[in-house]
Amino acid sequence: MFAVPIREANYKRKAHRVDLPLLLEIDGKPYRARDWSIIGIGVEAFDMDLERDQIIPAQCVIPMPDSSFSLKVELQFKSRRGNVAGFEFHNLSRPNKRVLRQYIEHAVDGKIGNVEDLVSVVTTPGVATPIEDAITLTDLEAEGLTRHFKAKSYVSLSIGVLFVVFVIAVLFYNTVYRIHATGVVTGNIEKITANARGVVKAVHVEPNTFVDAGTPIFIIENPEVAISLTNIDKSLQAIEQQIQSLKLQRASGNEVLVATLKQKLYKQEFQYQNAQRLFYKRIISIKDFSFVENQYQQALINYQRALDESQQDRELINQKIDVLDRQKSSLQNERDVLAERQSQQNVSAPIGGRVFHVQRSVGSYVTPNDVMILIEKNSSPHVFLKLLAEDALKIKIGMDAKVYAPSTDTDYEARVVAVGYSSANSNATVTQEASLNETLIRLEFTNDDVRLPPNTRVKVWIKTF
């Protein structure tokens, strides 16, 4: 029988533990010892309930081939692990300690049956020695422990070196050959503006609903437009009445007077011709002829004057009608503009898609450029991301990238198509491009069938090798 040292991983023990046959008798009941040393002992199947540091008497029985050896000891309870209770020897006497150490040494040397040596150890007076608690192992056991320690050290060192190399490789790959950033999905949103100034009267759609092109989506009500249209209609009606009245006045005018004077002129002309014939025949005197001639001349003047006045009145009326016609045309044009504005207040969807967001609610006051509704188009989006200037120097058009969307837990293939803020805003100036520490990068998906909600955050890896 040989002593078997218990291999432990850097435990700070006061003494080496061994697994040699040893029995304990506690309260008249035998127990088997396990993993014991000259400092402490483990007891298997211990069924007594003790408090920590409680001291109990016991007897250690060392079994021999033809006999046994018993030692009276005191045990101090320390802990319990499973069915094994751990004790420390309390005030173990020097002779008993020498007996236990001698038992272990004999077991190592294969002399475990030599009971006389144990008896002599008990009867021999105590001699001071610098080694009281430690157990000296044989050269063979020390060499075995050294080899085991070296083997474990080599394995641990190899694992550590491999881990450091792996970490360095990952860091080198991520910092030199691959750029990691966070991007946002965009490019598949259609902004629908109010197109008019006024108050939102009705909204016919809700978020996450689908609409077709031409579907009415909201109405903008502008009271000023309605009031202006009413006033213009009244003005047009009044102008139209004035024009009709002038036309009637132009049609009637002085026609009766002119006709009367014309008829009188014809009569005076007939009398003048008769008087002229009578005067040539010497039937009437020159005085009578002159009177008739004077009547004829007066009738001609009156008719011509009435005719001129009628013509002037007609021209004046025509001028008034022309002025009213111009006013009417101007008001009609203004009315057409207002009617167009009023028709624009009933806005329909220019494209089909999903209503992503309703920006304004009923009762809100809006201007023509205010965004009312965002519609998600049925088209492939693109991705925008920002990179520091030093990382942007590694980017080239056409580089491959991988996009991961946590919302769908899916990877997508993409490529770099544009660099700079002008890829998102055509109004970006050269000064803006050069004065910023960050650069905007635009990616497009390789597959045109990719559909992702707008403003989705994604992880992006750009391969720079």
Dump pLDDT digits (tens) for 424-452: 777 777 777 777 788 889 999 999 889 88
- The CATH number of whichever domain residue 215 belongs to comes to 2.40.50.100
Give CA–CA dist 248/250, Å, rounded: 5
Residue 106 confidence (pLDDT) = 76
Q: Which of 42, 32, 43, 35 is CA-nearest to residue 6?
A: 35
Domain count for the chain, please give it: 5
Instruction: Please state, as a whole number, how many other Cβ atoms lie within 10 Å of the Cβ of residue 404.
Output: 13
Same domain, residue pair 262 and 194: no
Give CA–CA dist 90/370, Å, rounded: 89
What does the pLDDT average to over 1-19?
54
Residue 155 confidence (pLDDT) = 80
In which band, very low, low, confident or very high, does the pLDDT at 132 lie, cut at 50, 70 and 90?
A: very low
List Cα–Cα distances, 275 to 265, 268, 295, 300, in angstroms: 15, 10, 11, 16
- The CATH number of whichever domain residue 240 belongs to comes to 1.20.58
Same domain, residue pair 360 and 215: yes
Mean pLDDT, the chain, integer:
79
- The CATH number of whichever domain residue 448 belongs to comes to 2.40.30.170
What does the pLDDT average to over 31-44?
87
Domain with 162 in it: 145-176
**Cβ burial 327-349 (10 Å sphere, 16+ → b, else e):** bbeebeeebeebeebbeebbbeb
Query: Is residue 440 situated within a structural domain?
Result: yes
Same domain, residue pair 357 and 339: no
Question: What tens digit of pLDDT does each residue of 172-204 get?
Answer: 655 555 788 899 998 888 888 988 788 888 898
Same domain, residue pair 31 and 126: yes
Which of 23-32, 60-69, 189-198 has the least mean pLDDT?
60-69
Please say whether the dihedral angle defined by the alpha carbons of residues 419, 420, 424 and 426, taken in this order, is positive or negative: negative
Same domain, residue pair 369 and 387: no
Whether the Cβ atoms of residue 279 and residue 286 lie closer than 8 Å to each other? yes
Query: Is residue 13 situated within a structural domain?
Result: no
Q: Would the pLDDT of 404 be above 90?
A: yes
Query: Is residue 140 situated within a structural domain?
Result: no
- The CATH number of whichever domain residue 95 belongs to comes to 2.40.10.220
Query: Is residue 392 situated within a structural domain?
Result: yes
Sheet of 198-203: strands edge to edge?
346-348, 216-221, 198-203, 365-366
Residue 157 confidence (pLDDT) = 82
Q: Which of 336, 354, 374 represents a domain boundary (last residue)?
A: 374
In which band, very low, low, confident or very high, does the pLDDT at 9 lie, cut at 50, 70 and 90?
A: very low
Same domain, residue pair 120 and 206: no
412 DSSP assignment: E
Same domain, residue pair 149 and 295: no
Which of 29-33, 320-324, 420-424, 430-434 has the least mean pLDDT?
430-434
Q: Would the pLDDT of 10 be above 60?
A: no
Query: Is residue 321 situated within a structural domain?
Result: yes
Q: Which of 140, 101, 157, 151 is CA-nearest to residue 124?
A: 101
Residue 253 confidence (pLDDT) = 57
Query: Is residue 280 situated within a structural domain?
Result: yes
Same domain, residue pair 228 and 170: no
Length of the chain: 465
Q: Would the pLDDT of 414 be above 90?
A: yes
Same domain, residue pair 271 and 170: no
Same domain, residue pair 424 and 452: yes
Q: Would the pLDDT of 154 be above 50?
A: yes
Give CA–CA dist 199/363, Å, rounded: 6
Q: Would the pLDDT of 383 be above 90?
A: yes
Q: Would the pLDDT of 367 be above 60?
A: yes
In which band, very low, low, confident or very high, does the pLDDT at 323 lie, cut at 50, 70 and 90?
A: confident
In which band, very low, low, confident or very high, does the pLDDT at 105 lie, cut at 50, 70 and 90?
A: confident
Contacts of 86 (CB under 8 A, 6+ apart): 40, 41, 42, 43, 77, 78, 79, 80
In which band, very low, low, confident or very high, does the pLDDT at 413 lie, cut at 50, 70 and 90?
A: very high
Same domain, residue pair 122 and 269: no
Residue 133 confidence (pLDDT) = 46
In which band, very low, low, confident or very high, does the pLDDT at 411 lie, cut at 50, 70 and 90?
A: very high
Contacts of 462 (CB under 8 A, 6+ apart): 178, 179, 181, 395, 399, 400, 401, 416, 441
Same domain, residue pair 369 and 436: no
Q: Would the pLDDT of 146 be above 70?
A: no
Structure tokens of 407?
A: 């919302």
Query: Is residue 9 situated within a structural domain?
Result: no
Query: Is residue 12 situated within a structural domain?
Result: no
Residue 136 confidence (pLDDT) = 47
Angle, to 10 degrees, between the axis of helix 94-109 and the axis of helix 115-123? 150
